[in-house]
Amino acid sequence: MTRNIAIVVSYDGTPYCGWQVQPNGVTVAEKINGAIASLTGKRSKLYGSGRTDSGVHARAQVANFHTEFSAPAEKVVPGLNAFLPPDIRVLRAYDVDDDFNARFCAVSKTYEYVIQNSRVLSPFLVHRAYLVKYPLDTGLMNEAASVLTGVHDFTSFMASGSYVTDAVRDLSRLEVRREGDIITITASANGFLYNMVRILAGTLIYAGCGRLSCDDVKAILEKKDRSDGAPTVPPDGLYLKNVVYQGEYSYVV
């Protein structure tokens, strides 16, 4: 009998060419596909909540696959982990209804962008945070963030060359907090455009050092053009924090 299993996966994206299977380089989904085949004896199609780019990390990515594998869901966690490298870990597994799809049932996602605001990047944050050496004012960053929060056309915050017919997204949360020299930008939305979080982070960094005012940020947003904005910051600091599902699947976290 076929069942549908949802898994919550955490990974250090450093050595991977992103989530999505592709011909040139090892990807996270490819590793999970291999583990599913090894555990269940059959290949399954894996549906991720969305792609993460090369070098981007995940604290709780969600994916699902249909399988005839009959062991209880709680056995799937150690079962898959036994076939996965230590930098990819299945944290949880659930039996879900046949119509659950990790991508299409996702209601919102939260990303974090981690900055170390210091002269020297910690050895423990290599490939895991973005070093900004000049002082950042998180008050200024939060003021700029409030300009961007809400329902907007985010064309100015989408990688140029992206082909999306509708760039309107509901950025329900964009917040900056500091603990010591670590600054974390948290962004939640019903969907993100290509490179959107990394461009938002680059914009807030420019705001935090006074290079962009709130009026500048507003003008960039209204221009609906990527060419004049702040730079896209590296993937190293980017983490898919979680994916939210509503109603009956809200336990998938």
Pick the stretch among 6-14, 40-48, 61-69, 185-193 that binds a copy of itself (CB under 8 A): 6-14
- Residues 244, 170: contact at Cβ < 8 Å? no
31 binds a copy of itself (CB under 8 A): no
89 or 178, CB closer to a copy of itself? Answer: 89
Q: Which amino acid is at 95?
A: D
Q: Report, in Å, the least distance between residue 126 CB and a copy of itself.
A: 5
Residue 91 binds a copy of itself (CB under 8 A)? yes
Specify whether the CB–CB gap between 196 and 238 falls below 8 A. no
Q: Under the criterion CB under 8 A, does residue 121 sit at the interface with a copy of itself?
A: yes
At its nearest, how many Å lie between a copy of itself and the CB of residue 118? 9
Query: Closest separation between CB of residue 1 and a copy of itself, Å?
Result: 27
Q: Give the footprint of a copy of itself on residues 169-228 (CB under 8 A).
A: none
Per-residue binder mask for a copy of itself (CB under 8 A), 69-88, x = binder? --------xx--x----xxx
Task: Provide the 3-class DSSP secondary structure of residue 91.
Answer: strand
In terms of Cα–Cα distance, which of 252, 247, 251, 210 is closest to 230? 210
Q: Which residues are catalytic?
A: 53
CB 215 within 8 A of CB 147: no
Secondary structure E strands in 12-87: 46-48, 57-67
Is 128 within 8 Å of 114 (Cβ atoms)?
yes
- When binding is defined by CB under 8 A, the residue of 5, 29, 63, 90 that contacts a copy of itself is 90
Q: Which DSSP string do the residues of 159-228 spell out, in sequence order? A: -TT---S--EEEEEEEEEEEETTEEEEEEEES---TTHHHHHHHHHHHHHTTSS-HHHHHHHHHHT-GGG
Q: Compute how many residues bind a copy of itself; rule: CB under 8 A.
A: 21
C-beta separation of 235 from 16 below 8 A:
no
- Other beta carbons less than 10 A from residue 165's beta carbon: 4
What track of x and - describes contact with a copy of itself for positions 123 through 162 (by CB under 8 A)?
xx-x-x----------------------------------
Smallest distance, a copy of itself to C-beta of residue 64, A? 19
Shortest Å distance, C-beta 93 to a copy of itself: 11
Give me the residues that bind a copy of itself (CB under 8 A), please.
10-12, 57, 77-78, 81, 86-91, 119-124, 126, 128
